[in-house]
Structure formats: C-alpha cells, structure tokens
Amino acid sequence: MVITKKSNNTELFEQQLWKATNKLRKNIDAAEYKHVVLGLIFLCYISDSFESLYEKLKKGEGEYAGADPE
C-alpha cells in the first residue's frame, strides 16, 4: 500500500463529494442508494480503464504501434 500526500485541491474535492453523498442519503432510501453507489463505482472503473488504454495508445508500443489515440 502506497501512501501519498494529497494536495489541498484533492482534499477539498473529496470533502465536496462527501457532502453531496450525505445529501443524497437523506433523500434516497437506503435500498435505492446502492444503485447510485454502484453506478459511481462502475464509472470509476470505466474511467480508469479508458485512461490506461489511452496511455498505451499514446505510447504506440507493441500491438498498439501506429494507432491513433483519438
């Protein structure tokens, strides 16, 4: 496990996200809240996968040689 120091912007963003989740929890039943959380986890996974593939395309190595990242 690698522990890195977070920047102030990251901490502020995380605090804003936490406040938003608290607001959502107040208005949504707990059984329905899981759908929101699972959707966010899925979006995070897709975003990470996209960034990984995009970096491979930018490097253009191996099977991605000559590929246009755009």
Residue boundaries of the structural domains of the chain: 28-60
Model confidence at 1, in pLDDT bands (50, 70, 90)?
very low
Do 57 and 66 contact (CB within 8 A), yes or no?
A: no
More confident residue, 68 or 4: 68
pLDDT given at position 56: 86
How far apart CA 38 and CA 34 sit, in angstroms, is: 6
Q: Which residues contact 6 (CB under 8 A, 6 or more apart)?
A: 14
Q: Say which residue the tokens 């996209």 belong to.
A: 50
pTM of the model: 0.51
First-to-last CA distance in the chain? 33
Residue 58 one-letter amino acid: K
pLDDT of residue 6: 56
Please write the tens of the pLDDT for every residue from 27-65.
777 787 788 788 889 999 999 999 988 888 888 776 777
